[in-house]
Chain A
């Protein structure tokens, strides 16, 4: 019997895809952990420096009123340890690359400059504001009011409205109302996506990450990481669903 075009194309596809070579897990993690943070640190430094200059203020290293939930994205899990180098060294092509690694144990001598840039300075009430914004966004989705939810998304993070609405409409028609629960805000947006400042502008010194759990996806390892942050001017809070 003659093979159909459909079968022929997919047979060829499988014979190639089944033989695809994969990197080793350790090599992948090692490469990522030594590669991504350098770019991320440089990007974060540029973004925050621009914001600081624009608002004519500077970012204190340790001062300011910060509640426990507002503090230290880098002191918890997925922390980066920085063994050498300041930001200037990290972004310089002529100097040796600093050694960066993922790890549970904090560096013994982290660079204070790098830490201050990444930690930023949330203002009092920012954590509660982030939770309120995330609740509002998820409530719009739960109520199928997709245009209002879409309007809250940071421009660099938006799908086309039709695509966004279709995604949620299909999900709701398959699984019912998109009920949700929010976890406490954390400051570890870097752990979720270190390249964020390249595509979503905003005041990362006041950014929070909020994990959204959906009861309808229990036991499927599905959740959303919602980045919540003010825009560069610091006036309008916006959201970005990272996954």
Chain B
């Protein structure tokens, strides 16, 4: 019986990984604006999901759990990095041209806050409502709408 339950949660974990890896990575890329950190923290978030697999209610959406976990992991990491004054490493998976492209995009988005970038990804790209995005981002629906508007203004597109 226990073995069967363990096998089921393994399958559910793998399914969640296949379904949500990209969503989690893209959210974290927006939140951190750093490719290598987003990759690392995505893996850490899924490692936490694995550790909590017997506690998770698999009948309910798992993505909000992953995003909240990823956001908190990212905040923890950047607090520690800020104390140590260590620059994040460059992405190792990029060739030279990809690296240059990413540097341009990263620089353009640097003026936006984490909330502004994440709001674009979750609401505009992922189709979440401002209320749903507010829950996972620790904000309010009004705060999300304001972040979307500010983000557009900051990129010179008022």
Contact = CB atoms under 8 A, between A and B. Distances in A.
Interface of A: 4-7, 9-10, 12-14, 16-18, 20-23, 25-26, 28-29, 32, 36, 77-78, 102, 104, 159, 167, 170-171, 173-175, 191-193, 199, 211, 217, 219-222, 243
Contacts, number: 121
B50 A219 contact: no
Contacts of A28: 17, 43, 46-47
A9 B152 CA distance: 11
B29 interface: yes
Contact of B14 (A20, A25, A211): A25
Interface in B114-132: 120, 124-125, 131
A174 B57 contact: no
Contacts of A170: 134, 138-140, 143
Contacts of A174: 131, 134-135, 139-141
Interface residue tally of chain B, by bracket?
35 or more
A12 to B, nearest CB: 5
A5 B22 CA distance: 25
A17 B31 CA distance: 13
A167 B72 CA distance: 12
Chain B contact residues, majority secondary structure = helix
B146 interface: no
A243 B76 CA distance: 11
B96 interface: no
Given A9-B155, A104-B6, A14 B125 contact: yes
A77 B135 CA distance: 29
B50 A5 contact: no
A32 B53 CA distance: 15
A45 B155 CA distance: 50
A21 B108 CA distance: 23
B102 to A, nearest CB: 6
